[in-house]
Amino acid sequence: MCGRFVSTAPPDQIAAYFDAEAPESALEPSYNVAPTNDVYTVHADGSVRRVEPMHWGLVPRWAKDPSIGSRMINARAETLATKNAYKSAFRSRRCLIPADGFYEWVARPGQKRKQPMYLYRADGEPLALAGLWERWRPKDAPDGEGELRSTTIITCEPNEAIRPIHDRMPVVLAPEAWARWLDPAVDDLDLLGALLVPAPEHLITMHPVSTEVNNVRNKGAHLLE
């Protein structure tokens, strides 16, 4: 799974990188983004790409309340087309989640506490994580009010470099895949599913970091040391 990541770039920088329109409001930079936080997404509104903050933890349209989102921070690539929570979004509401990097925890011989690792692109470029997004409104909300937009990060089998760390990894999409992934008019699920594969082993590097990242209240840059 992908349960923590780093997002420190300002929205105008993200928008420029993804050739998208920036949002009116900005999120606080965070070196420890946790589930249920708001996160930046990139999605297509017609022919225009937009950067938009969304709730991390997908809330399906049929959910009785938003609390289910805390259990839906990740979606398995292998079951997107069949799971009721994801299959509609997979067909037409796909997005990218920009990230500086993400964390995983690995068991250490003879140690009870796992070692957190920070994983990021070796070339310093942002990661474009594949995601889905959804709209949810409470049943008693007046028309046009109370809408919650939420997102989930898609995971796949790990590549050989990450396999010793974790049995899953987030799907990282290359720039040449962004247009196809974001286009809501593309609904060929086999074509889309072919994009959801492990990143090349050379793309991502990693190093151990402080166990301070275990506490979601810690958000500072020192976590990467």
* 2 counts as catalytic: yes
**Total count of residues recorded for the chain:** 225
CB 219 within 8 A of CB 31: yes
Element (H, E) at 179: helix 175-182
Residue 164 Rama label (left phi>0; alpha psi -120 to 50; beta)? alpha
CB 96 within 8 A of CB 126: no
CB atoms within 10 A of CB 10: 13
CB 148 within 8 A of CB 134: no
Q: Which two tokens stand for residue 170?
A: 């987030």
Q: Which of 225, 46, 75 lies closest to 150 in space, CA to CA?
A: 75
Catalytic residue among 2, 52, 95, 156: 2
At a CB cut-off of 8 Å and minimum separation 6, what does 137 contact?
145, 146, 147, 148
Catalytic residue among 52, 95, 104, 134: 104
DSSP, collapsed to helix, strand or coil, labels residue 191 as: helix
Query: How far apart (Å, rounded) are the C-alpha atoms in residues 51 and 66?
Result: 22
Q: Which two tokens stand for residue 56?
A: 């991390």
* 104 counts as catalytic: yes
Catalytic positions are 2, 104
